[in-house]
A and B are shown apart, each in its own frame.
Chain A
Amino acid sequence: MTPNTIDKDRPTSDWMAELSRRFPVEREVDRVLRRKLEMRAGPPFSGAGLDRLVAGVEALIAARHKSPFSIVDPHWLTGGASKLQMAFTLEWTPPGGSPSRTKLVLRMEPAASVCETSRLREHQMLAMFEGVVPVPTAYWVDPAGEFLPYPALVYGFSEGVTKPSHSVSNVTGLGTNLGPDLRERLAPHFLSQLATIHSARVDAPGLTAFDRPDTPTRSAEWALNWWERVWEEDAGEDVPLMRLAAGWMRGNLPENDRLSIVHADFRTGNFLFDEKDARITAWLDWELAHIGDRHEDLAWTMSPAFGHYAEEGGAFLTCGLLPEADFLDRYEIASGLSVNHATLRFYRVLAAYKAIAIVLGAGFRNARNGKSHQDVLLVWLMGLAYPLLDELRSRLEEVI
């Protein structure tokens, strides 16, 4: 089979099996990626009216919670590029509690997502980190879309904002400028919570949907396989620089000195904060979290797409919070974990590669096939791929 004969919009079972064999990943990741291809030739996204979602949530809760309840004030939330979110209030009596009104969020996949991930894994990570770092309380999960049109989970609504009231940013919180005061007050929380996540145990019994890397290079190998597979599955026109990058990474997999929980999208725009107290109230978007190498998080967080230059010609600020060197120094102090700069260079190549696979590969394919509730946002985000490709080129120049 050659690339010339592959119709990615109508994948064959042989091609799916070949991708699975060429790019081995964790079992649950393999399942969701295969499912994406199996559904690709199916209908575009539909069935997302508020009434339909309320009915689905009612069915899900009724199956899990045997007392009377009602759902009021359902409405849309915006902000992310990969999932559809509906906020609502649940009037109910929690187990062992008294009658309550609880604000909740339904987080549901579209027909295909720019980040094709497992709701079960996201639910397990949220449950693991409740009380450890600020996260929404995980309530119920519909991992196979039994009750809702697509797989979904329900978690608690968190108060807070992703950017200051008067700031301007691009979509999904990219390019957010927090301002000098907030950045100084938020940075310690940002660092200490990243350190806490990386220090968490990776053998928690609740993480049943995760596989642990079993060789020193397996963390890097699985991470590369995941995103090279997405690129192969989804990309429209080829980008030789992406092939060069994958070839270099394949020959330079770093060894992991310690397994950590990796959030995998730890950045400004993915946490809520209280503007007055400068306190992080919730870390969102755990869908990509996995067990791997902490440098993967560090590299992703340092992506230029999430930062900006300080005022008056100052340094480039990681996530708009603090200069790169300060970020790494203070991370080492907060976590007690070292930064291996050779490993970090590998993961900075991977971080750019992954971001491009998402916005230019999956974004293109899903918008072309009408698979999401916001195709127009996906097409807009494709433009981000070009500065990211230039970042990838710069990173390769350093190592190749």
Chain B
Amino acid sequence: MEFELERDAFADAVAWTARGLPSRPVVPVTAGVVLEVTDGALLVSGFDFEVLNRIEVPVTDKSPGRVLVSGRLLAEIARALPPKDVRVAVEGNRLAVRCGSARFNLPLMQVEDYPVVPELPATSGTVRGDVFATAVAQVTTAASRDETLPMLTGVRMEVTPDELIFAATDRYRLAERHVPWQPSDDVASRSVIIPAKTLSDAAKSLGSASDVVLSFGSEGGGFIGFSANGRQTLTRLLDGEFVKFASLWPTESTTTAEVEIAPFVDAVKRVSLVAQRFAPVRMSFDENRVQLSAEAEDESSAEEELEVGVTGEPLTIGFNAGYLLDGLTAVKAPRATLSFTTPARPTVITPVTGLADPDTANSTGEQTYRYLVMSMRLRG
């Protein structure tokens, strides 16, 4: 095997693939990246039994072949190379990397021992790259990071003929985002649960593409693929049934507040400085203003008052500042509406939509994003 390409393309390809490799692999070969050259293209791939990352770049192809080398070492070398063309060749049982006057030799790993990688399921449709990236970020913020509840570390994606509906919850928050998409032919309505971490990584790295291709094939395939710009992420889906969240959205509210997000976020951050971790920030909504306050065990305290548009009953409620801020920043709009019923019932944050704003409203002007946050019980 032998090929040539420019330094940046090589470094990007290796870095993108090696990034997902396990630091403590279950089997040693999965710490490696596979380099495969065929027909003027280099395919770099890494697989840890859960996630497959694969990237294709055009190269000057001298001879085809397939080898396995340490991903981390190759990525470090590629990153450090001078800005010259790179020549990579198998020499005996080593991989030689030459760039300018630098020369490296890496031992080859046993490519025959590499696990069989999953097939990419049949193409299901496409979604706009920037919309996909925003939507995934808006939803994964509410996904659980607690591995003891595996299901909640996933994002549920519901597939309908004209929309993808993403939702995630960690039992304290719940986020939901509707995204238009273009299914290929007739894709059956169904839902899948995608590991939030992988989905988030894929959306970030593919979001710059105009379109991202989704491939999840038919029911029971067990994998979903995201492809754009020659990059492909394939991940195992989570088994099981997602929590029933549809009924958790409140159907009415007794108090609503419309806030300008930036100053409100700043005020919450300031007041929460004195609140210890896991302690609530208290908010009293009343007559077009909100009073924010927090106090700590050592009797330090903070207060701030803001003008906001309040409709309905006065209300005092407590929040974990982090959970509230996640929702306020995720709405991606200048203004948001907070809808309350009682302090112990869910609060819903929605963007105040401008017309024809594709990030926050669909073609009929309906909101496409909502974030539910549970309050904290206040003492006394």
Q: Do A and B come from one complex?
A: no
Interfacial residues, chain B to chain A (CB-CB below 8 A): none
Hey, which bits of chain A sit against chain B, CB under 8 A? none
